[in-house]
Amino acid sequence: MSATSPASSDTAALPFQQTHEVTNQVEPLVGYDAFAFDHALVAALRREGAQWHAEALSNDGMALTQPDVVALAELANRHEPALSTHSPRGQRIDALEFHPAWHELLRRLRRAGAHAMPFEPSAQPGSMAARCAAYFLHGQLESGSLCPITMTFASIPVLRNEPDLYARLARPLLSREHDPRDIPLEAGKHSMMIGMGMTEKQGGSDVRSNRTRAHALGAPGRGGAYRLIGHKWFFSAPQCDAHLVLARTEEQGGLSCFYVPRFQPDGRKNAVEVQRLKDKLGNRSNASSEVEFRDAYGVMIGEEGRGVPTIIEMANFTRLDCVIGSAALMRAALVQAIHHARHRSAFGAPLVDQPLMRNVLADLALESEAATVLFMRLAGAFEDSAAPGGSAQARAWRRIVTPAAKFWVCKRALEFTGEAMEVWGGNGYVETGPMARFYREAPVNSIWEGSGNVMCLDVLRAFEREQDAAHALLADWNATASAHPALAGALASLMKLLTGDPAAREASARRIAQQLALCAQGVLLARHAPQEVADAFIETRLGDARGDTGRVYGTLPARFDHAALVNRAFAA
């Protein structure tokens, strides 16, 4: 073939290095107001009496989607915390080093008041809902940084019951400044974080099998100083300035709760030795650890032998945050999926214009909105039930619905994030985008602070102990359900399960918790969402269409306006 043949001429016309032109790839989703674009959240904030915080949330919602802030999540998870157990001179230090992105994430969370807003002296009515909305927005950016913030938040109601101790801790606990220095509070540290240490190797969720021992240094009992010997299989997060832990006393033998600081009163590092950091699934930004107490200093809080009820008060708040954290993952995955579908074409049309893809996105939008209205109602109920003269209904939302919500919403987050990842296809399965991180994080909230079975059994216990509150709540729900036959039928079925044969009730605990959570979501949507949203959710989760839709997203009946549901979730 000659050099001047057509084939040779065509080949020569192409640049030697060029193999392809990048087209049909979606630009990152940045630069939008994550609060204002979430219609369900905006409306719920107003209902729960926190409209006064809307401007701050809008400012935060815009800031959290800026490219430099979005990059913090990837940086904090790529550069994992590193543990140094000893100094160069051989001293035990158990120090952790984090990437600056981690500290910036914590700085933003504290500045937003996510660690303490409802407990500040200047707290306004609606502060719990305002705080939970802020936590939700930050949870859409990065999940690992939520862990020490939620534990610090949940510890405050427990520590406030110890006036002498709290008087010393209030300032650094409530401070909106993040102080990353690893120094004693007495040396001038401006703020602090609190962690938890309950789980041991032999027990897991069965904390009553804990073997860690506590020996009194002087007068035993509440407020007394102790030395702790034992181990904790999961100790989160080891960089915190103090932890609340459970241990057995010699005098009483039962489990008591102890405040264990990172530094002893004399300024020396406490004898809490980090054995290793856990190589865990999920976020890589935060540190979880296994530790040994080797005569560690601690102070008893709460009554001796009442350690589980004492720390359960903390767990109730962290369970609420598990619901919020899962709802945040769902919302983050949803807006990423919708954005991708609007800007990616396949088979001759944008994905969002293809009927089956619209069905998937619309179904995900229903699930996300239901999770959002549920956690915001729980936030309001936490505040209402703690106020003087708090209503029985608020108490039922807090005590009975919270564990059901933790069970159900956290479970749904796994399937939800997997489906949203599938919208992205192969691009969702690689670690250079956010979808893989969302998916890896999704299981943790189902496990942490009580697995699914523990939550469902807690629903049954709460129903038995709070009968008056439960019946007041269900009566209130029935008033709304009368206009929705499918919802009314679901509530009747729930009552049969709750009041049926006690011998069979425990085996049905998951069915009961699932039905309770779905009924709660159905009632809230019926009251507060557009009719199209409420009808679609109730019919496909509780009504006749439930058998046709099953558990797979994207099976909504065609009679619902899928495009409208998608646009409501995240306006173009």
Q: Which of 136, 115, 131 is nearest to 372 (CA)?
A: 136
Q: Which of 4-13, 96-105, 253-262, 311-320 has the highest mean pLDDT?
A: 96-105
User: What confidence tens digit (pLDDT) does each residue in 29-73 have?
Assistant: 999 999 999 999 999 999 999 999 999 999 999 999 999 999 999
323-333 pLDDT per residue, tens: 999 999 999 99
- pLDDT beyond 50 at 288: yes
| pLDDT the model gives residue 247 | 96
> What's the mean pLDDT in 263-275?
97
Query: Per residue in 553-563, pLDDT tens?
Result: 999 999 999 99
The pLDDT of residue 5: 39
pLDDT above 90 covers a percentage of the chain that reads 90
Question: Comparing C-alpha atoms, which of 93, 554, 557 is closest to residue 351?
Answer: 554
- Mean per-residue pLDDT over the chain, rounded: 94
Lowest mean pLDDT among 142-146, 297-301, 368-372, 448-452: 448-452
Phi then psi for 442, rounded to 5 degrees?
-55, -40
Q: Measuring CA to CA, how many Å separate 178 from each of 98, 138, 158, 371, 384?
A: 14, 16, 22, 30, 30
Alpha carbons 482 and 526: distance in angstroms, whole number: 11
pLDDT digits (tens, 9 = 90+) for 348-359: 999 999 999 999
User: Which structure tokens are listed for 474?
Assistant: 């269900």
Report the relative pairing of strands 225-236 and 213-216 from DSSP bridges.
antiparallel
**If you average pLDDT over residues 133-158, what whole number do you get?**
98
pLDDT, residue 521, reads 98
Considering only CA atoms, which of 144, 149, 139 is closest in space to residue 61? 139
Which token pair is 387?
């106020």
pLDDT of residue 1: 39
For residue 279, the model assigns a pLDDT of 96
Q: Are 486 and 542 in contact (CB under 8 A)?
A: yes
Q: Where are the alpha helices (DSSP H) in 220-284?
A: none
The answer to whether 417 and 432 are in contact (CB under 8 A) is no
Record the tokens describing residue 297, joined without a space.
């200093």
- Do 142 and 107 touch, CB atoms closer than 8 A? no
pLDDT category of residue 208 using cuts at 50, 70 and 90: confident
Quick one: tokens of 4? Answer: 């001047």
118 three-class SS? helix
Say what percent of the chain tops pLDDT 70: 96
- Which one has a higher pLDDT value, 273 or 2? 273
| pLDDT for 8 | 43
Distance between terminal CA atoms of the chain?
Answer: 55
Which residues are 227's β-sheet partners?
Answer: 215, 297
pLDDT, tens only, 524-552: 999 999 999 999 999 999 998 787 766 79
**Per-residue confidence (pLDDT) for residue 571, from 0 to 100:** 87
| Residue predicted with more confidence, 481 or 502 | 481
- Confidence category of residue 502, pLDDT binned at 50, 70, 90: confident
| Distance from C-alpha of 375 to C-alpha of 395, rounded to nearest angstrom | 15
pLDDT band at 503 (very low <50, low <70, confident <90, very high): confident
What residues form DSSP beta bridges with 269?
Answer: 263
Of the candidates 505, 152, 448, 508, which has an alpha carbon nearest to the alpha carbon of residue 314?
Answer: 152
In whole angstroms, give the CA distance from residue 564 to residue 554. Answer: 15
Range of lowest pLDDT (13-22, 60-69, 224-233, 476-485): 13-22
Show the DSSP H helices in 223-354 as ranges.
Answer: 307-343
pLDDT of residue 14: 54
Q: CB count, 10 Å around CB of 301?
A: 22
- Measured from the Cβ of residue 268, the count of other Cβ atoms closer than 10 Å reads 11
pLDDT surpasses 50 at 2: no
pLDDT at 20: 81
pLDDT, position 544: 82
pLDDT reported for residue 445: 97
HSE-up of 525 (CA within 13 Å, CB side)? 27
Mean pLDDT of 448-472: 95
A 10 A CB-CB count for 387 gives 10
pLDDT at site 207: 86
Domains contained in the chain, CATH given: 185-305 (2.40.110.20), 310-569 (1.20.140.10)
The Cα 398–Cα 380 span in angstroms is 9
Pairing of strands 213-216, 242-249: parallel
CA gap 230, 213 in Å, rounded: 6
